[in-house]
Structure 1
Amino acid sequence: MTTPSKPLTRLLTDPVGAVPGLSLPPGSLVIETNGGPWPEPLLWVADEVAAPGTWAEYLPARYAGLRPVLLQDEAGLEEWWDGQLDPGMVSDPDVHRAEEVLEDLWRSAASETEDDEDDEDAGETIAPFTGSWPGLASPGRTAADPEVTAADVAQALVGHSLMSPRIALVPVGRAADLPAAIGWSGPVNYEHDVARLCAVLRSWEDRFHVRVIALSYARLDLSVAAPPRTLEEALAVAAEHFAFCPDNIWQGYESIREYAEDALVGKAHWTFWWD
């Protein structure tokens, strides 16, 4: 077995030296089991369920090359993060461009919507847009410090929509790359290569100051420090969300317009769920 990555090694052997002031509770490494004869450690995860303020407590770990994330254990089992994470299945986010990915996904989702014979109002679902890709939304205006916003969103999620999350630390340079770094396969029914979605997350990180807060079996939670402030701005962002995760609209809203107005204007939390 190979030696754990340097950030994880130091975290385990000298947590105070790696991150001054960090108190590491009981936990363990999650090992990649599908990548070959010498599996790599992917992340460290705490044994106990996280408290509301736990995410913020572990944010300083980023100075040691580690990013905190909440892993939600929906079924009371650890199967999805202990044996089903496989970074060997994904490419490198560096090789993808966010707009190209979104344009490709938009065309696919819009076409599937328009071809739905059971939906008489298919055209209304994507209105005011058509099958043509509308392009990237303009960057948002920062409303708060991204890390403070992230901590606030994490605190609001724990014990509410996330009932049993564990805090995990992942050796990754930027939060947007977390899903690809651990080989998360939550959107696999829609997108097989999560690195393509990470390219979009990078773009959102740059334009809207998002942070990856939590991963579940098929759910992704983000904090947003520069959300759209008007319906017009939100519509442009909603088009990207429809491409990124059509189920957000298909399974919860009548239209992109309704989604933009209800879920995006001024909202510091974006969540995605793939059926």
Structure 2
Amino acid sequence: MVKPPRKRDPLHVLADDPRGRSLGLDLPAGGVVLRPGRRRWGKGSEPLVWVSDEAVGVGALAAHRSPQLAAAGLQAVLLQDRPGLERWWQDREFAPERMSDPDDHHVEPVLREFWSRVVPDPEEGEEGEEIVAPFGRDWPGLAVPGPPDGPDVPDPQAAACELADELTVGGVLPGPRLALVPAARGADVPTALGWGGPTNFENDTALISVVLRSWEARFGARLVALGFDELHLSVAAPPPTTARALPVAAEHFALSPDNIWQGSGSIRAYTDEAVTGCGHWAFWWD
């Protein structure tokens, strides 16, 4: 029996065909970034991600979150420069070999462990209690899912593309590059890249992906953009009331405590500012 030809890795295809025509794509000018430290005898480094040469504008994410791209096994996201860290993705900031497999973890124990790291010590007294109120030191559990599908709930991918345009026009992402990452779903992109944004908090990005997977399922969240140490999600079904949003804010605090420690100052304030009815969740790690 003749075996079917082995399907080539899409990034190897893009290394030879950077516009992606052989994959049914029409990409802007760009090229692959090689995986650091992965040289085999007689072979060069393996490709890790395709990135556009120049910044892309409004409509770029929508144009490349296509069936053709999904069929090729690639996820489209935006990468954002930061002053002093221009083109950080070319400076060996990725370490995919250090990451575990998101399939080996479950969201509840991951967030419970994160919560135990960030909840204030009893010695901090009322000030510490106020940061996490109305919750205490014990992990409060997972928030209930957002509103079910309905006429008022946008398609998650459409919401992601709309947010990408809003962030580009509004200057939150002033000069994003288009990136194509080999991953089965958007939540797994940070792990597939070996992205080091949360390193000072958690150096196994698979644990971040586990949380993102859960938010995909519960709130229609989709990864839109990554910066050197920041992450942007669109949210198609955010919690509509303060009561529903408070437990979600607790999950955000567990994942990215700097959002509150160096931002809103308390879970209550953060809930009103950044979670209730909010279609954009942004995270950063100092």
Whole-angstrom CA distance in 1 between matches of 2:142 and 2:156: 21
Out of 88, 92, 99, the residue aligned to residue 101 of structure 2 is 92
Deviations 1:2-53 (CA, angstroms, capped at 9, x unpaired): xx9622234453723423xx32221010111134545321110000101021
Residue 148 in structure 1 maps to residue 155 in structure 2:
no
Q: What are the within-5 Å matches in structure 2 for residues 153-172 of structure 1?
A: 153-159=163-169, 160-172=171-183
Which stretch shifts more, 31-40 or 163-172? 31-40
Residue 266 in structure 1 maps to residue 277 in structure 2:
yes
Out of 65, 68, 72, the residue aligned to residue 73 of structure 2 is 65
Equivalence for 2:244: 233
What is the identity, as a one-letter code, of the residue corresponding to 1:125? Answer: I
What is the identity, as a one-letter code, of the residue corresponding to 1:224? Answer: V
Deviations 1:162-200 (CA, angstroms, capped at 9, x unpaired): 112100111110000000001000000001111111111
Equivalent position SS for 2:77: strand
Out of 99, 110, 127, the residue aligned to residue 121 of structure 1 is 127
Equivalent position SS for 1:34: strand
Aligned length: 267
Equivalence for 2:23: 18
Whole-angstrom CA distance in 2 between matches of 1:218 and 1:15: 29
Equivalent position SS for 1:168: strand
What is the identity, as a one-letter code, of the residue corresponding to 1:7? Answer: P
What is the identity, as a one-letter code, of the residue corresponding to 1:207? Answer: R
Contact (CA 8 Å) 1:74, 1:164: kept in 2 or not?
A: no
Structure 1 residue 83 displacement after superposition: 1.6
Out of 233, 249, 252, the residue aligned to residue 222 of structure 1 is 233
Out of 4, 7, 12, the residue aligned to residue 9 of structure 1 is 12
Deviations 1:119-148 (CA, angstroms, capped at 9, x unpaired): 861110000001100100111114210011
Out of 40, 43, 46, the residue aligned to residue 40 of structure 1 is 46
- Percent identity of equivalent pairs: 46
Contact (CA 8 Å) 1:35, 1:86: kept in 2 or not?
A: no
Residue 205 in structure 1 maps to residue 216 in structure 2:
yes
Equivalent position SS for 1:121: helix
What is the identity, as a one-letter code, of the residue corresponding to 2:51? Answer: V
Indicate the structure (1 or 2) with the bigger Cα radius of gyration.
2
Equivalent position SS for 1:211: strand
The TM-score with structure 1 as length reference comes to 0.91
The TM-score with structure 2 as length reference comes to 0.88
Equivalence for 2:31: 28
Equivalence for 1:79: 88
